[in-house]
Amino acid sequence: MTYLDANATTPPDPRVVEAMIPFLTLHFGNASASHAAGRKARRAVEAARSQVATAIQARPDEIVFTSGATESINSVLLFAQQQWPARPLLIISTVEHAAVIEGALRWEQCGGRVKRVPVDTNGLVRLDALKAALEPGQTALVSMIWANNETGVVSPMSEIVALAHEAGALVHADAVQMVGKLPVDVDAMPVDYLSLSAHKMHGVKGCGALFVSRRVPFSALLIGGGQEFGRRSGTENVPGIVALGKAAELAGEVSTHDLAVLRDEFERYLIVGWPGAVIHGGSSDRLPNTTSICLPGVDSAAMLILLDQRCIACSGGSACHTSLLHPSHVLEAMGFDAKHASSTLRFSLSRMNTRDEVMAAAAEVIRTARHILEQRDALSSPVEFT
């Protein structure tokens, strides 16, 4: 299989699997236990905390391990609303992941207000609209996706942070698609909270982290045994955490440049092969691995089935949407209509892909699209009865 769906999930790096296996077999101790097996697990968790902190230039005590980014995001939103009742406003963008969208709906159900800042046709958050939305003294939190999972468009995070802080609001960055693909430095980019996920960076599913800046408060969503220094109760997923630590260490190895060169070559092939093709966010800063492309006239649902049969894994938007026949809210927010969205495919590469397989996939995509068009034309031509 040629796997081009890394924004949905990445294949675990074999070195990550190798690092975690001993913690599924030999070193199974509970990290809270005081005996040798427990101490071994504790040391591994703390080593992983340092690895994750180093990957984003944070301090180890600013990292809280969670079950994934959905939990990290939920924790921040619920905490902020509870902590600052006198500041009822939450600001998000119109191109967030479902975890933030649903979290914002709950914020409203609990009596808060939410403003959703639009993006432009390139998928960039409109800073003028953000500035107008911010109500100093009323805004508890600005939660923004740092790099978009569907288009790869990278948000103007320094401007977002500066505007939010000027208005006295804190910032949560959904950095799930950033970490491991582009450098993240929370010292240089002073976000207050940041969510990341292991399975998007060649770790394993069911593990993630929340960065909480030492400058800001936080209290646990999950309470009980007081693990994670009281910030997230529940017995630690030691193998998953070890895997996340290793994945974070390896993230530094990724050559953003090489990935971008390959992605650009892939895109050029598609653009030449399909006149009228549109790359979403093509003129914005984008992740080096993501191509969201509209092939006008081609039904992406049919493409997904045929490409799957031809052993190419990609997606028709965000993975969370594939079971729903609803146009992507991200493309809608960028001003594209349902017809355009229904001809859109997302390809997301990773460091595990080779040039040969990626370019062979590009050729197969064009072949498949032509095949669909030929079939459609054959069906619509009049049948002559004799």
- Where does this chain bind ligand PLP (CB under 6 A)? 68-70, 97, 99, 145, 149, 174, 176-177, 197, 208
Q: Which is nearer to ligand PLP, 11 or 38 (CB)?
A: 11
- Per the annotation, the verdict on 110 as an active-site residue is no
* One-letter-per-residue 3-state SS of 203-214: CCCCCEEEEECC
Shortest distance, CB of residue 208 to ligand PLP, whole angstroms? 5
Question: Residues 355, 384: contact at Cβ < 8 Å?
Answer: no
Smallest separation, CB 10 to ligand PLP (Å) = 11
State how far the alpha carbon of 36 is from the alpha carbons of 147, 213, 304, 356, in Å: 42, 32, 51, 48
Q: Write down the least CB distance from residue 322 to ligand PLP, Å.
A: 12
- Residue that the structure tokens 């199974």 belong to: 28
**Residue 141: phi, psi to the nearest 5?**
-145, 140
**CA–CA distance from 353 to each of 203, 245, 312, 359 (Å)?**
16, 22, 12, 10
> What number of other Cβ atoms are within 10 A of residue 111's Cβ?
9
Question: Among residues 197 and 213, whose Cβ is nearest to ligand PLP?
Answer: 197
75 or 177, CB closer to ligand PLP?
177
Alpha carbon distance 243, 78 (integer Å): 28
Tell me how far apart the alpha carbons of residues 308 and 288 are, in angstroms, rounded to a whole number. 24
**CB nearer to ligand PLP: pick between 92 and 362:** 92
Tokens of 357: 């397989």
Report CA torsion sign: 99, 101, 107, 110: negative
Planar angle of CA 224, 228, 234, nearest 5 degrees: 40
Q: How far is the CB of 30 from ligand PLP (least distance, A)?
A: 24
Least distance from C-beta 206 to ligand PLP, angstroms? 8
Q: Return the number of other C-beta atoms located less than 10 Å from residue 264's C-beta.
A: 12
Amino acid symbol at 160: I
Catalytic residue among 110, 207, 294, 320: 320
User: Which of residues 117 and 277 has its CB atom nearest to ligand PLP in the complex?
Assistant: 117
Record the tokens describing residue 243, joined without a space: 């895997």
Q: Minimum CB separation from ligand PLP for residue 193, in Å?
A: 13
Q: What is the C-alpha end-to-end distance of the chain, expressed in Å?
A: 46
Nearer to ligand PLP, 174 or 249 (CB): 174
- The Cα 203–Cα 341 span in angstroms is 31
- Chain centroid to CA 314: 15
Q: Tell me, what amino acid is at 207?
A: C
Q: Closest approach of Cβ 146 to ligand PLP, in Å?
A: 8
Region of 45 (left: φ > 0; alpha: ψ -120 to 50; beta: rest) is alpha
CA 329 to mean position of chain CA atoms? 15
Our CB check for ligand PLP shows the closer of 295 and 330 to be 330
Catalytic residues: 320
